Amino acid sequence: MSAIIIGAGHAGGSVAAMLRQNGYADPITLIGEEPHPPYQRPPLSKGWLKGELAEDGLLLRPRDWYAEAGIDLRTSTRVVEIDRAAKTLTLSSDETLAYDTLVLATGARARRLVLPGSDLNGFLELRTIDDAERIKAYFKPGFRLAVIGGGYVGLEVAASARKLGADVDVLEREDRLLARVAGPVLSDFFRAEHEAQGVRFHFGVEIEGFEGLDGHVSGVRLANGGMLHCDAVLVGIGAIPNDDLAREAGLICDNGVVVDAQARTSDRDIFAVGDLTHRPMPLYGRSLRLESVPNALEQARQAAAAISGQPEPKPDTPWFWSDQYDLKLQIAGLPFDVDQVVTRGDPAGRKFAVFHLCGGRVQAVEAVNAPPEFMAGRQWLASRREVDPVRLADVTIPMKEV
């Protein structure tokens, strides 16, 4: 028997390691198109961009670990085709490999802007170490950066850029920040924090195209006739799943590869994990695609358990974090079907939590510099216990007693 994992990112690297932890003794091949061993992407927009971290600090495991664990790690190698009938895959080198079990962990890629002028030099995206290196080279005092998209990646880059002295404008089509992923209390809070740090926001804007000078972007042209001068544009408008291989192989896909609670695809011998997947979320009676490290790790555990014949792991509650300036945001759960929102603490004090409830039960918690609220929210999410909203809002009652 042999297992092949396509995609040597957070999810793929974790499946390989967990298989060995579970005692899986058969050959494992881990194939990644990037030149690096599996590494963590979250620091790319945070510590790494500010030069606070060395490359080895990004790696999931030391470089030598894979050979020591008997894992054949092939970097700079792209898988171009899967033949499910023959149970083989073809590499960009034309080599063919046979598998018994296949794990797809090809992640997602940054969504690109296609507008007049978006082929000029000076367009930046942030998904890989190489992207982050390119961005770093630009950030200097006085440098003018236009960030398109007020989501997590855009805001984290804006914070890092300000720290390095760059001039930052953020352009957002919606009328608030983090519109797709967080509630209005959080949007207003982060707007005020960024503005206090000198970031300028432009809400409700439509971009018509870009101006250039000697082949390099020099400005963003707005549909309302306005023009914003800049030296580079960071595009942070979300990510799309790398599900092309799976589609071409005939696996069921719907905004990502559709998997079950064991991370199994519509082919029994093929699993899929991480940003690539459209997964069930029983807590909310829905399926959806998530992009987070905890999600990649949870699905890696599911796939590794199924492949190595271990019991199915207990489901985790979805969670996420973001660091901007000295603010630690932690989010647990997803704000579906919310009928009441309770804020505990005062955002002006830069330490507060927003609880999203449905019928008295926590659906999600957004906590800023408030780990006890985050931890309690996560526990309540898992236990489905009802909470008293009045006591929850009362900061004189310690979290443990709420």
316 binding ligand FAD? (CB under 6 A): no
Q: Does 364 bind ligand FAD (CB under 6 A)?
A: no
Q: What residues contact 254, with CB distance under 8 A and at least 6 apart?
A: 278
What radius of gyration, in Å, describes the C-alpha atoms of the chain? Answer: 22
Q: Does 284 bind ligand FAD (CB under 6 A)?
A: no
Rounded distance, CA 34 to CA 53, Å? 20
The residue within the footprint of ligand FAD, chosen from 5, 10, 101, 135 (CB under 6 A), is: 10
The dihedral built from the CA positions of residue 60, 64, 69 and 74, taken in this order, carries a sign that is positive
Binding positions for ligand FAD, 322-351, rule CB under 6 A: 322
Report how far apart, in Å, the C-alpha atoms of 265 and of each of 23, 65, 317 are.
23, 29, 21
Interface with ligand FAD (CB under 6 A), residue from 125, 167, 193, 291: 291
Q: Report if residue 58 touches ligand FAD, rule: CB under 6 A.
A: no
With contact defined as beta carbons under 8 Å apart, do 81 and 75 qualify?
Answer: no
Residue whose tokens read 């404008």: 169
Which stretches within 34-166 are classed as H helix? 55-58, 65-68, 129-138, 152-163
Q: Is 242 near ligand FAD (CB under 6 A)?
A: yes
Q: Which of 228, 245, 249, 307 binds ligand FAD (CB under 6 A)?
A: 245
Smallest separation (angstroms) from ligand FAD to the CB of 50:
13
If one asks whether residue 236 binds ligand FAD (CB under 6 A), the answer comes out as no
The sign of the torsion formed by the CA atoms of 47, 160, 138, 292 equals positive
* DSSP structural state of residue 120: S
Note whether 270 binds ligand FAD by CB under 6 A: no
Q: Which residue stretch of 16-24, 188-196, 272-280, 334-342 sits at the interface with ligand FAD (rule: CB under 6 A)?
A: 272-280
**Among 16, 24, 30, 42, interactor with ligand FAD by CB under 6 A:** 42
CB closest to ligand FAD, residue no: 9
Residues 17, 18, 29, 34: which binds ligand FAD (CB under 6 A)? 34
Q: Which CB atom, from 6 or from 19, has the smaller least distance to ligand FAD? A: 6
Q: Sign (positive/negative) of CA torsion 26, 32, 36, 40? A: negative
42, two tokens: 């979250």
Instruction: Please report, as ranges, the residues that interact with ligand FAD according to CB under 6 A.
Output: 6-12, 31-34, 41-42, 44-45, 78-79, 105-108, 126-127, 153, 242, 245, 274-276, 291-294, 296, 320-322
